[in-house]
């Protein structure tokens, strides 16, 4: 099952990207367009599919921030999701961006986002059996 987390209605350019991605997606893929919704809905349907691909944790964190959810609530929900995902027989793959390798952002909002995503990435990496970093199209196994 492919889980899309983009909130395309807020951004015309992103909306075009989402439409293109929908067109390119294989017809046989089950899709859940979650946006910034609750991650528990992924776990409810996960066993019906051979695998779950959440694309992306970055956009989910961003959507939750834009909705005004505080950091603690987002991380608590994400921790519950990770607990449920690790208990599944179905593989769960998370895609996320690494935002901590560059300069410190100038704005408070950008720093807050970087820190929240960094915490979510750390939690995901701790729970994961494997962690891969992709740089310039080359995958590197980190864990």
Which are the catalytic amino acids?
21
Which two three-digit tokens encode residue 82?
């990770």
Which two three-digit tokens encode residue 45?
């349907």
């Amino acid at each position: 099952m492919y889980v899309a987390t983009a909130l395309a209605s807020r951004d015309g350019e992103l909306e075009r990207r989402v439409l293109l991605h929908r067109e390119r997606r294989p017809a046989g893929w089950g899709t859940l367009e979650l946006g910034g919704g609750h991650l528990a809905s992924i776990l409810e349907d996960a066993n019906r599919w051979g695998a779950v691909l959440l694309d992306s944790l970055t956009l989910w964190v961003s959507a939750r921030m834009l909705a005004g959810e505080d950091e603690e609530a987002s991380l608590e929900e994400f921790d519950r999701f990770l607990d449920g995902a690790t208990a599944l027989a179905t593989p769960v793959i998370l895609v996320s961006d690494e935002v901590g390798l560059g300069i410190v952002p100038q704005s408070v909002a950008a720093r807050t986002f970087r820190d929240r995503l960094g915490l979510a990435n750390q939690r995901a990496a701790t729970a994961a059996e494997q962690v891969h970093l992709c740089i310039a199209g080359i995958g590197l196994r980190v864990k």
